[in-house]
Structure 1
Amino acid sequence: MSEVRLQAETRTEFGKGGARRTRRAGKVPAVIYGHGDEPRHISLPAREFTAAIRHGGANVLLTLDLDGAEQLVIPKSIQRHAIKGTYDHVDLLAVRRGEKITVDVPVVVHGDVVAGALLAQDATTVSVNAEATHVPSEITVDVTGREIGTQITAGQLDLPSGVELVTDAETLVIAISEAPTELDLEPEEGAAPAEAEAGEQASEDTLGEGEEATAETPAE
């Protein structure tokens, strides 16, 4: 997996106001959890952190230079701005080399199924247990030439050496079915006239109600 070194700073301002000021300064508010220690509030350089996630994925291993010491962490939860796409806040998990952790890893599909088939991906991530320094950035599935009726479960995924599946092995990840044809998408014969007839009947009923109401209204 990718490993990136970042310069981090201890954060002394908390709450929404403090977080806004941190972001205005070009940094991302973050909190480090793990190993039974008290949470540590820090800030990360926004540009470098964004680049780390872009190139290393959501499970990128980060070595933080923090208060004269090194701290190894991986992102645990990332909050992004709904419109701008910038990072609003990050929860980080403190890890040690050789330590095993459980994380969610994206499942990425490659290749094309046979003509006339439709691929549905039911699970976009699976949980795995792996050494903190060897967490895969993604798990790939090649569906090239896969036939209609094919189903791929979590237990059938090809995991890297040393990585153990935590998700239930029977969890459906990918299903390949027959793609709908133009005939399947066309309305059933007679459906349109029936709708038109229903619309005409509704208009007649409405008109009748209007005429009856007018008849009951006394003349001025």
Structure 2
Amino acid sequence: MATQASKLAVTVRTEKGKGAARRARREGKVPAVLYGHGTDPQHLSLPALEFAAILRANGVNAVVDLDIDGSSQLALTKQVDVHPIRNYIEHADLLVIRRGEKVTVEVYVVVEGEAAPGTLVTQDASTVEIEADALSIPEQITVDVEGVEAGNAVHASDLALPEGVTLISDPDTLIVAINAAPSSSELEEEAEEASAETPGTDEAAE
């Protein structure tokens, strides 16, 4: 959990459009838009390597202290678009925030531990929505299933949240279910049923 914003010197973009964005990326910059609190959207260029390092260290909800032409502005990372193949950051949306302000964000839920033998652990939800101080957003929330027996479940209301963090998601949201693992005979029966339901090649040819 970050307790202070990461400093990042950025520049104002005067050019807009896809061509300008491509040029910025070739120069090692990330095109970004800063908005919120009734301000006009501001188009920025972020240093790609530094911004990526901040996200690795602080998670997707990283708070940055932007240096814009010598002026400081706190911002929350709201969205990051990553190239699906080359894995570089294509664009970022940043939200203007104020120190001490509460923000609503989604955080990842991570399952840890080994449930009881003979069980199958299924994670139904990978994120939950919370409200927290902008500088106290947890990077993730952990669910410990160590030794948990079949027939148990973890709902959003069961999550152990850090002090000062409030759950916004529906408390009844299913996060993790621990069920009895199917036996080998059950798996064989399912495979046989699936095979019987699949038309033969001769049938398909007809």
Q: Flag whether TM exceeds 0.5 (same fold).
A: yes
Cross-structure match for 1:213 = none
Task: Name the CA shift for 1:51/1:199 in 2 (closer, same or farther; >3 Å).
Answer: closer
Q: 2:135 aligns with which of 133, 136, 150?
A: 133
The aligned residue for residue 84 of structure 2 is 82
- 1:37-186 paired onto structure 2 within 5 Å: 37-186=39-188
Structure 1 position 13, deviation (Å): 1.2
Match for residue 32 of structure 1?
34
Cα separation, 2, equivalents of 1:91 and 1:192: 46
Q: Alignment partner of 2:40: what SS?
A: coil
Matches within 5 A, 1:8-23: 8-23=10-25
Q: CA deviation at 1:187?
A: 3.9
Q: Write the distance in 2 (CA, Å) between the matches of 1:158 and 1:26.
A: 40
Higher helix share: 1
The equivalent of 1:218 in structure 2 is none
Once the two structures are superposed, residues 64-100 of structure 1 have per-residue CA deviations (whole angstroms, 9 ceiling, x without a partner) of: 1111111111110110000011100000111111111
Counterpart secondary structure, 2:54: helix
Offset of 1:28 from its aligned partner?
0.4
- Number of residue pairs aligned between Structure 1 and Structure 2: 204
- Distance of 1:181 and 1:5 partners within structure 2: 54
Bigger drift between 41-50 and 187-196 goes to 187-196
Q: Which has the larger radius of gyration?
A: 1
SS at match of 1:55: helix
TM-score of the superposed pair, with normalisation by structure 2: 0.91
Name the TM-score, length of structure 1 as normaliser: 0.85
Question: Sequence identity of aligned pairs in percent?
Answer: 49
Unmatched 5+ residue regions in structure 2? none
Q: Given the superposition, is the C-alpha separation of residues 180 and 33 from structure 1 closer, same or farther in structure 2, using an over 3 Å criterion?
A: same
Identify if the C-alpha distance between structure 1 residues 67 and 125 changes in structure 2 by more than 3 Å, giving closer, same or farther.
Answer: same
Please give the alpha-carbon distance, in whole angstroms, between the structure 2 residues aligned to 1:192 and 1:139.
38
- 2:26 maps to a residue whose letter is R
Query: 1:134 aligns to what SS in structure 2?
Result: coil
1:104-156, Cα deviation, whole Å (9 max, x unpaired): 11111111111111111111111111111111111111111111111111011
- Which one has the bigger strand percentage? 2
- Mapped to 1, the partners of 2:87 and 2:203 lie a distance apart of 49
